[in-house]
Homo-oligomer: A and B are copies of this chain.
Amino acid sequence: MALQYNEFYHRHTGLTIGVEQVLFSKQSSFQNIEIYQTDTWGKLLVIDGMVMLSEQDEFVYHEMLTHIPLNTHPDPRQVLIIGGGDGGTAREVLRHPGIEQVDLVEIDETVIQACQKHMPEIGNWDNPKLDVRITNGIEHIKESGDRYDVILVDGSDPIGPAVDLFRKEFYSYCNQALRDNGVMATQCESPWVASYHPHMKEVYDSMNELFSIHRPYLASIPLYPAGLWCFMLGSKSENPLSEQALKRAETNTTSPNIPFKYYNPEIHQSAFSLPEFVREIFLP
């Protein structure tokens, strides 16, 4: 097979990836889901024409969405993941020894089934601390009380079923579902793509109103548009750059149980440094 997967983030400009085989292709009730064998990045999960992850680069997204908020929290036990049907975020959460329960709330069962079949090593599906629920994340969180220490929003882009995950109303539900020293993080698009800026600013402004501490942070994700990705952290009381948080980052990365490939204590700190053009998206 000699196919090219093309994803354009603006007009005819974007990514092109050699595809050797189409392993899975299905229109679910929510979205179009495809898994390809690529020539360079291993298997690739694509939803509604947007790369979600590849086997070769998924460690960046999952480590950075997980360990920065988890090490910001002094003692995370109860974690909620909204989305995350590939299992990678739950895998990283479960590496923290103090975790008691991870609720993974995915709206689309087809994503989980496809990933469990074709990319099983991304997840840690048999872990007894993991509770998978197939339901709407927003409905789940509205009925959650305040029982989570950390909430990780691992949804797709603000198109299709994930569009509500970029609205202030949703972050206010997250805030209510977090305990007193709770922390949340969400993926928040590419600073290099101008059409994303209104969404990024909306998330920033919403978190500003809802959380006493809110900070964007960055990571290099080669298969996301233009290769640089933003995350947004909201925290009720804990500063991600406090001495204690940095000490936890140090302690948790020296454990032989967590083979980090991107995250480390220096990255925990430097990810919050924004280039000037990124700072201007949030504070124009």
Which residues of A pack against B, CB within 8 Å?
Answer: 2, 4, 6, 8, 10-18, 38-41, 57, 59-60, 192, 218, 220-222, 226-228, 260-264, 266-267, 269-271, 273-277, 279
Which residue of the partner chain B has the closest CB to A64? B275
In this complex, the member of A4, A15, A270 whose beta carbon has the largest number of chain B beta carbons within 10 angstroms is A270
Residues of B with C-beta under 8 A to A264: 275-276, 279
Interface of A is mostly: mixed
A-B contact pairs, 23 of them (CB 8 A): A4-B12, A6-B16, A8-B16, A8-B18, A10-B39, A10-B40, A11-B39, A13-B39, A192-B220, A220-B228, A222-B226, A227-B228, A260-B276, A261-B275, A261-B277, A262-B276, A263-B276, A266-B273, A266-B274, A267-B273, A267-B274, A269-B270, A270-B273
Which residue of the partner chain B has the closest CB to A222? B226
Which residue of the partner chain B has the closest CB to A192? B222
In this complex, the member of A17, A38, A57 whose beta carbon has the largest number of chain B beta carbons within 10 angstroms is A17
**Closest CB in chain B relative to A77 CB, distance in Å:** 26
In this complex, the member of A10, A17, A40, A60 whose beta carbon has the largest number of chain B beta carbons within 10 angstroms is A40
A60 and B275 contact, CB distance less than 8 A: yes
**Closest CB in chain B relative to A4 CB, distance in Å:** 6
The CA of A274 and the CA of B12, in the complex, are separated in Å by 32
Residues of B with C-beta under 8 A to A40: 10-13
In this complex, the member of A6, A263, A275 whose beta carbon has the largest number of chain B beta carbons within 10 angstroms is A275
The CA of A59 and the CA of B277, in the complex, are separated in Å by 10
Which residue of the partner chain B has the closest CB to A19? B12
Which residue of the partner chain B has the closest CB to A11? B39
Which residue of the partner chain B has the closest CB to A277? B261
**Closest CB in chain B relative to A259 CB, distance in Å:** 9
**Closest CB in chain B relative to A250 CB, distance in Å:** 14
A261 and B276 contact, CB distance less than 8 A: yes
Residues of B with C-beta under 8 A to A14: 15-16
Pick from B10, B41, B221, B263: contact of A13, CB under 8 Å: B41
The CA of A257 and the CA of B43, in the complex, are separated in Å by 48
Report, nearest first, the 8 A-B pairs whose CB atoms are least far apart.
A227-B227, A12-B18, A270-B270, A270-B273, A222-B226, A13-B40, A266-B273, A11-B39
